[in-house]
Amino acid sequence: MFPSLTERQEYILSLVIQSHISSGRPIGSKTLVDEFDLDVSSATVRNEMALLSELGYVVQLHTSAGRVPSEVGYRYFVQQLLGEFHLPYHEQQMISHQFHQARLDLSQWMQLAAAILARTSQGASFVTMPQPYQNRFKHIQLISTQGRLVLMILVLFGGSVKQQMLTLAEPLPQARLSVAANRLNTLFENAGYDDIASRLSQLDTLENEVARLVLDVLRRTDERPFANIYRDGLVNILEDEGTRQAVRVLEERTLLANVLNETQTPDIRGVQVVIGGDGRWEELKDCSIILSR
């Protein structure tokens, strides 16, 4: 529960946050009056900022300095004051055109998404492939390469594609491999790890060998959610005071994967904001992460 604010205090808090995000510096009352052409005096704004400070929404780092938003202030802004924002139509069209021009390769789409997000937000971004709560089988291909070597191409729901080499006991013609792949596609459609494991007894030797490799891929994929993280925009935050910690967070893939996994719940859609680690991640105490699914 937040301490109640007047409409003017809410407005001043939002201006402090916007100005601080833009400049990275403590914000004083005169700065707000000049920058936003307010129709009240600096003294009035200074008094309101003092009240915001008493309520814990802003903090004064030094006696002679301006104020910066506190974690509580950011939370109030995000939960109570921040409305929806839509990109201008011409920017939406430009982004759609960029994705249209990209090759139909999921990794290129992810890297492009990270670049566009960083450019649009003027911040650092990271993007992951869609992550289901449990990986499920969608399609498989078996391709004869050389002698006993077979390339298995496994497509999972969500668009993830896994490639794995398989060494057979003896060389088999492509026609035999295709028959096995077709049967597995029929038998394992939309199946998860447990469903596939329960049907191994229904398979012949070749199908069983392939199915066990599929199970191994599913197990490793489930154990390492968000293994591929695409990043961009580090240069956008190099001048901020908290740069070193923010860069450390972006470089720490295990931490990012943990945050993404812990915040992925079926009942939450749209935009989530993790402020100061939400009391769960000490490494994020000076950072905020905006998530969208």
What are the pLDDT digits (tens) for 142-155? 999 988 999 999 99
What are the structure tokens assigned to 15, written together?
Answer: 């201006």
Residue 133 pLDDT grade (very low, low, confident, very high; cuts 50, 70, 90): low
Instruction: Quote the pLDDT of residue 244.
Output: 62
Beta-bridge partner residues of 274: 289
Domains and CATH numbers, the chain: 7-81 (1.10.10.10), 89-131+226-292 (3.30.450.40), 137-223 (3.30.390.60)
**pTM confidence score:** 0.59
Instruction: Identify whether the C-beta of residue 58 lies closer than 8 Å to the C-beta of residue 68.
Output: yes
Q: What is the mean pLDDT of the chain?
A: 85
Between residues 14 and 105, the one the model is more confident about: 14
What are the pLDDT digits (tens) for 192-249? 999 999 999 999 999 999 999 999 999 888 776 666 788 888 777 766 556 666 666 6
What are the pLDDT digits (tens) for 66-112? 899 999 999 999 889 988 788 899 999 998 888 888 766 777 888 89
Going by C-alpha positions, the residue among 133, 167, 156, 269 that lies closest to residue 215 is 156
What are the structure tokens assigned to 37, written together?
Answer: 């052409």
